[in-house]
């Protein structure tokens, strides 16, 4: 039985107090590496990027962080940075260091454009001042067109490397990739090492094709590549790593490959998760918790979830080690994989249709106490690896109820929304299905060495040891974070939420057999009607001839 969330909060507070004490000691070698340094970061408005910004300002005396940001949805970069800083992630930092915002400088640009869309004046300023570069910008949309994914993930990497080569005082550059870059079909259940692998296509060729071939033709050309890598994200991230290998030669550069990044395990706030994560795995947990998602297509595999604070620490410390290695003459880029290889978490037990695996067990039991009071239905989900059965369950438990409820809403003048929600859920399930139905053995020896080589003080401040993470506890914390930071539940109506779930459970098990019986009778009636029509039509045709 996992400890209740209140006990975990107390432990997290003690952990964060120890981190504050270690920071104030002034003995951190990592912090000294960042003393008076100027950092340039892409992807700073993303999940990992925001957490890194908070951690760097909280733990170091960095001189300045330049953050690349583009105009988006009619909002200026200044409007966007204000929205970023309103995130609960920065609440404590704003109280302790209210002036840190003066050291966070926004550079307007776009990672998909030449020179990152940066004007000449700012480009010159960056090349004069920047010491450390973090390239974390990426198009994470698995259904993005190959053209757009290429511009952001490959061309963007090329332009960042171009900037790095022009920097006069560069100490280190970190390219943030993903553990699943080389999680190909032919490596299922096999090792994925912390090393470079053959690129699907030369980076220059890929960029040239994206610039000269239209979307439809380009996607058709790369249809065969989808056999090994199921989406444009995986393909372009693999090509981007090849670009780092080739174009990064002579640079103090490394790659960090996190697996599936979820909520913060400890710092700065227990369970912090970005609202935008609702479009990823967090959305699946939320859908189950709200009683909306009733079925998931997944197999008995180890799920590689890693908390964002461990990932941030690995990236921040990798920059220092990369500088040290380069200074000692080691010019081959190191690759650091952050995965839960040594404490794997299974999704569910094979050959069952019930929620019995480690991940699902936590969600179905301990995390049930965190279900929001405005859940629509009783929280339960059927997990299956069989596509035909998942499709049947989706029709029965998603689409038919959605059509009925939306129809009733339209009749009373309300907006129909449920079918749209289930279409989004279906899209989410389909894009993640390749990774939820297959497993890989991600090696992480370089990351383990990175953590072990830290001083005792830095091991406290910049813990990047995944073996220190209790995985089942992490899932409970993740569920708590989703309720608090995405649903915005203040946790004050726990009794009401649990009573509501108890009532919905009774209603669910009374209504379910009636609903299935009704579907059976309706299906039988439809089949008989169709059969009758076909027979009558055949008789009519026979009478004519």
pLDDT tens digits, 18-45: 999 999 998 999 999 999 999 999 999 8
pLDDT-based confidence at residue 358 (cuts at 50, 70, 90): low
The count of structural domains within the chain is: 1
Does residue 348 have a pLDDT over 80? no
What is the rounded distance in angstroms from the CA atom of residue 50 to the CA atom of residue 48?
6
Gyration radius (Cα) of the chain, Å = 26
Does residue 355 have a pLDDT over 90? no
Counting beta carbons within 10 angstroms of the beta carbon of residue 38, is it exposed (0 to 12), middle (13 to 18) or buried (19 or more)? buried
Which structural domain, as residue segments, surrounds residue 208? 5-272+303-344+440-468
Domain annotation covers residue 458: yes
What is the rounded distance in angstroms from the CA atom of residue 272 to the CA atom of residue 89?
7
Give me the pLDDT at residue 400, please.
85
Residue with tokens 């073996």: 467
Give me the pLDDT at residue 356, please.
44
Section 106-120 average pLDDT: 92
For residue 262, the domain's CATH number is 3.40.50.720
> 508 vs 240, which has greater pLDDT?
240
Domain annotation covers residue 187: yes
Domain annotation covers residue 14: yes
pTM attached to this predicted model: 0.90
Straight-line distance from the first to the last Cα atom of the chain, in angstroms, rounded to the nearest whole number: 75
Q: What percentage of the chain exceeds 90 in pLDDT?
A: 46
Question: Is the alpha carbon torsion for 155, 161, 167, 173 positive or negative?
Answer: positive
Domain annotation covers residue 422: no
What is the rounded distance in angstroms from the CA atom of residue 141 to the CA atom of residue 402?
26
Section 417-433 average pLDDT: 78
Domain annotation covers residue 473: no
Residue with tokens 């009758």: 532
Does residue 140 have a pLDDT over 70? yes
Give me the pLDDT at residue 1, please.
40
Domain annotation covers residue 534: no
């Amino acid at each position: 039985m996992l400890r209740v969330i209140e006990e975990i909060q107390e432990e997290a507070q003690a952990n964060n107090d120890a981190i504050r004490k270690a920071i104030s000691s002034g003995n951190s070698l990592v912090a000294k590496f960042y003393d008076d340094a100027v950092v340039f970061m892409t992807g700073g408005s993303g999940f990992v990027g925001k957490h890194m910004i908070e951690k760097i300002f909280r733990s170091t005396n960095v001189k300045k962080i330049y953050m690349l940001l583009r105009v988006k949805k009619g909002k200026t970069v200044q409007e966007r940075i204000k929205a970023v800083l309103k995130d609960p992630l920065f609440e404590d930092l704003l109280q302790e260091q209210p002036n840190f915002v003066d050291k966070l400088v926004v550079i307007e640009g776009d990672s998909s454009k030449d020179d990152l869309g940066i004007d000449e004046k700012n480009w010159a300023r960056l090349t004069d001042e920047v010491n450390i570069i973090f390239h974390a910008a990426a198009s994470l949309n698995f259904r993005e067109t190959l053209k757009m994914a290429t511009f952001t993930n490959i061309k963007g990497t090329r332009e960042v490397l171009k900037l790095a080569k022009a920097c006069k005082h560069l100490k280190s550059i970190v390219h943030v990739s993903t553990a699943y870059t080389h999680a190909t079909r032919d490596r299922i259940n096999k090792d994925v090492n912390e090393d470079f692998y053959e690129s699907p296509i030369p980076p220059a060729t890929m960029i040239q094709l994206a610039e000269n071939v239209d979307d439809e033709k380009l996607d058709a050309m790369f249809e065969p590549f989808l056999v090994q890598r199921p989406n444009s994200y995986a393909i372009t991230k693999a090509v981007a790593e090849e670009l780092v290998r080739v174009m990064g030669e002579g640079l103090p550069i490394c790659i960090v490959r996190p697996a599936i990044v979820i909520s913060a395990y400890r710092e700065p706030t227990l369970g912090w998760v970005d609202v935008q994560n609702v479009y990823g795995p967090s959305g699946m947990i939320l859908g189950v918790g709200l009683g909306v998602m009733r079925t998931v297509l997944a197999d008995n595999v180890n799920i590689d979830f890693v908390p964002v604070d461990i990932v941030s620490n690995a990236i921040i410390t990798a920059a220092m080690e990369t500088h040290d290695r380069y200074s000692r003459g080691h010019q081959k880029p190191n690759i650091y994989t952050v995965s839960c290889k040594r404490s794997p978490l299974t999704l569910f037990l094979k050959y069952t249709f019930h929620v019995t695996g480690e991940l699902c067990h936590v969600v179905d039991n301990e995390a049930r106490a965190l279900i929001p009071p405005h859940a629509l239905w009783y929280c339960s989900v059927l997990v299956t690896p069989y596509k035909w059965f998942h499709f049947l369950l989706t029709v029965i438990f998603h689409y038919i109820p959605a059509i009925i409820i939306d129809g009733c809403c339209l009749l009373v003048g309300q907006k129909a929304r449920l079918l749209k929600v289930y279409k989004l859920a279906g899209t989410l399930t389909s894009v993640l299905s390749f990774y939820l139905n297959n497993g890989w053995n991600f090696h992480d020896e370089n990351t383990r060495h990175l953590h072990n080589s830290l001083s005792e003080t830095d091991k406290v401040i910049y813990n990047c040891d995944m073996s220190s993470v209790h995985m089942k506890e992490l899932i409970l914390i993740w569920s708590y974070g989703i309720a608090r930071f995405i649903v915005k539940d203040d946790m004050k109506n726990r009794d009401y939420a649990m009573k509501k779930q108890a009532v919905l459970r009774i209603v669910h098990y009374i209504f379910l057999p009636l609903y299935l019986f009704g579907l059976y009778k309706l299906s039988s009636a439809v089949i008989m009607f169709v059969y009758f029509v076909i027979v009558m039509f055949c008789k009519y045709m026979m009478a004519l001839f």
